[in-house]
Amino acid sequence: MNTLFDKIWDAHVVQKLDGGPSQLYIDRLYCHEVTSPQAFASMKERGIGCFRPEKIICMPDHNTPTHDQDKPIADPVSKQQVDTLAANAAAFGLTHFGMMDPRNGIIHVVGPERGLSLPGMTIVCGDSHTSTHGAMGAVAFGIGTSEVEMVLASQCILQSKPKSMRIRVEGRLGKGVTPKDVALYIMQQISTGGATGYFVEYGGQVVRDMSMEGRLTLCNLSIEMGARGGFVAPDEVTFAYLKGREYAPKGAAWDEAVAYWKTLRSGEDAVFDKELVFDGAAIAPMITYGTNPGMGMPVSGAVPTLDEIPQEGQASFLKSLSYMGFQPGERLLGHPVDYVFLGACTNGRIEDFRAFASIVKGRRKAPGIVAWLVPGSWEVRRQVEAEGLLDVLQAAGFEVRQPGCSACLAMNDDKVPPGKYCVSTSNRNFEGRQGPLSRTLLASPLVAAAAAVTGVITDPREML
């Protein structure tokens, strides 16, 4: 019996080249301002239009400031990129959710919340974290600029079929453990290269129990394990999330779609190229100590000692610790931090703001802490206000900003200064990712909130 990945992939193969890649039909292309300009420029040079413009959605997110979005962007490079996307969308007749559009936000947050990303789809974007949309039961992955042009022109792409992997997380999660911790734990166990060459299907009781927001976080981090993408088979949680959303099917078309979506699952006898099983009860709230997302540990634990690291990895391990200012065997509880970032396509959804608010309610932001609380979309921002979370956060001394990628990456104003520590809910802690010489500690919204009100790395379980 085929896996669900096989079913979706094979249903989208237009033709297979002998001994080469497949021509794969793409249901949805998302374009943001960073990786699309060259593709559009090439299309203009060739004098061709988009083959299926209704399948393409354009949205700026990487370069958008998270304040004063009603004013011109001050940074000239960011302004040019955002303006160029708007001009290209207009020239090619494409749907464009620009800044201050009530549907704008981070493309990987907006796609699912608008019902643009649906089960059974193939979805691509010139951005590695396109894997996020896999939470809807879709085959979603990042592509390069030349491939963006290929999809614009033909609605197809040349791709070699990846191998399939299933990762099951069974049992139940403990107090204060979130989907972000599950992803960081898996990466700690298998490394950032452990899923290279595979498309990952997530399953098991822990994944079935996750909300849509939680599954989106888990799938978002698939790329950090080396995977081509990750997804969760659609179920009642998926259907309940999608029902009534702007671009989701309506009426009889909805019933027909759900009937099809219910067939999207791997058979009982499906054979995967690799299968891994983890125990949810073994997972604690996590934090990273190094410069890749696989260098994680329980927040209450200690940095590994040198004898715990294989000989061939010791030099890079020590280099990473030197950059971060940590020592082998050091405990991080109580270590001072300077910045806290809640947001990104990893943890910028309403559930993440609820979690953060649950810790800070009745407390105050620690003196000296700079906190960026950035919703993943205007829709999330509206929910934060409607649920009274804005009042809770403001009473605790926090400001909720306007949507965008923000401090996930140093492409806008929200940069962490050299040498400063930032507890971040984003997806990458590479050297300089949040600003030149910045130091990033990846964590869940609960761990971030605990640090924000104490000023130091803190186990959130003590505050729940």
Q: pLDDT tens, 201-213?
A: 999 999 999 999 9
HSE-CB at 187 with a 13 A cutoff on CA atoms is 32
How is the chain split among helix, strand and coil, in percent rounded to 5?
40, 20, 45
Residues 6+ apart with CB under 8 A from 165: 195, 198, 199, 200, 201, 227, 272, 273, 274, 275, 276
The residue type found at 399 is: E
Instruction: Classify residue 88 by its DSSP letter.
Output: H
Q: Tokens 């990895």 sit at which residue?
A: 313
Structure tokens at 157: 């792409």
Dist CA 391 CA 39 (whole Å): 44
pLDDT at res. 1: 67
Sole residue written with tokens 């191998």: 163
Q: Give the pair of three-digit tokens for residue 242.
A: 């999608």
Would you state the structure tokens that stand for residue 294, as one six-digit string?
A: 């696989």
- Same topology between domain 4-275 and domain 288-459: yes
Paired with 231 in beta bridges are 201
What is d(CA 214, CA 211) in angstroms, rounded to the nearest whole number? Answer: 5
Look at the alpha carbons of 399, 290, 319, 322 in this order and tell me if their dihedral is positive or negative: positive
Evaluate the CA torsion angle 114, 116, 121, 123 in order and state its sign: negative
**How far apart are the C-alpha atoms of 273 and 166, rounded to whole Å?**
8
Residue type, 38: Q
Low-confidence ranges of the chain (pLDDT < 50): none
Domain residues of the chain, as ranges?
Answer: 4-275, 288-459
The verdict on pTM exceeding 0.75 is yes
Helices marked H in 31-75? 37-46
User: Distance between alpha carbon 147 and the CA centroid of its chain, in Å?
Assistant: 21
Question: Minimal CA–CA distance to 78: which of 61, 63, 95?
Answer: 63
In terms of Cα–Cα distance, which of 390, 412, 391, 392 is closest to 401? 390
Are 374 and 404 spatial neighbours (Cβ–Cβ below 8 Å)? yes
Torsion of CA 383, 388, 391, 395, to 10 degrees: -120
Residue identified by tokens 């989907």 is 179
Cβ neighbours, 10 Å, residue 149: 21
What pLDDT, on a 0 to 100 scale, did the predictor assign at position 19? 87
List phi, psi (to 5°) of 204: 95, 165
- Identify the pLDDT of residue 390: 98
- In words, the CATH class of domain 288-459 is alpha beta
Alpha helix segments (H runs only) across 221-298: 236-242, 252-261
Q: Quick count: other Cβ atoms within 10 Å of Cβ 369?
A: 20
| Overall CATH class of domain 4-275 | alpha beta
Task: Confirm if 339 and 369 have CB atoms less than 8 A apart.
Answer: yes
Place of tokens 């608008």: 114
